[in-house]
């Protein structure tokens, strides 16, 4: 006989499910004429988060915290992707 235990999901599995759902929703929003590189998607998302935080990078409500990145990593990606704070 095969034993069956209660099936539970670890937090990592639960997070993965949430990530897959959000990614799936994002993909459905795009049509074939809107497909862009991963770098461009990353750039657009980082800019969106920066806009929402008033371009605050570090701190509890900063973009790095929201994105789950170290401040230096976010700054490095911004440089790589050519993201600069708008002037004016």
- Residue 79: per-residue pLDDT: 98
pTM above threshold 0.75: no
| Spatial contact of 63 and 49, defined as CB atoms under 8 Å apart | yes
CA–CA separation, 7 and 63 (whole Å):
36
Tell whether 86 is covered by a domain.
yes
Domains held by the chain: number: 1
61 within domain boundaries = yes
Does a structural domain hold residue 8? no
Q: Residue 15 has what pLDDT?
A: 43
CATH number at residue 48: 1.10.10
- DSSP per-residue letters across the chain: ----PPP---HHHHHHHHHHHHHHHHHHH--GGG---HHHHHHHHHHHHHHHTTT--SSTTSHHHHHT--HHHHHHHHHHHT--PPP-
pLDDT at residue 67, rounded to an integer = 96
The whole domain housing 37 covers 33-88
Q: Which residues of the chain have pLDDT under 70?
A: 1-33
């Amino acid at each position: 006989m095969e034993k069956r235990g209660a099936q539970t999901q670890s937090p990592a599995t639960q997070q993965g499910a949430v990530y897959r759902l959000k990614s799936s929703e994002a993909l459905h929003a795009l049509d074939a004429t809107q497909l862009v590189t991963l770098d461009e998607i990353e750039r657009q998302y980082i800019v969106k988060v920066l806009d929402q935080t008033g371009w605050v990078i570090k701190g509890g409500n900063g973009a790095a915290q929201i994105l789950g990145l170290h401040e230096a990593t976010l700054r490095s990606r911004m440089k790589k992707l050519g993201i600069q704070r708008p002037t004016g």
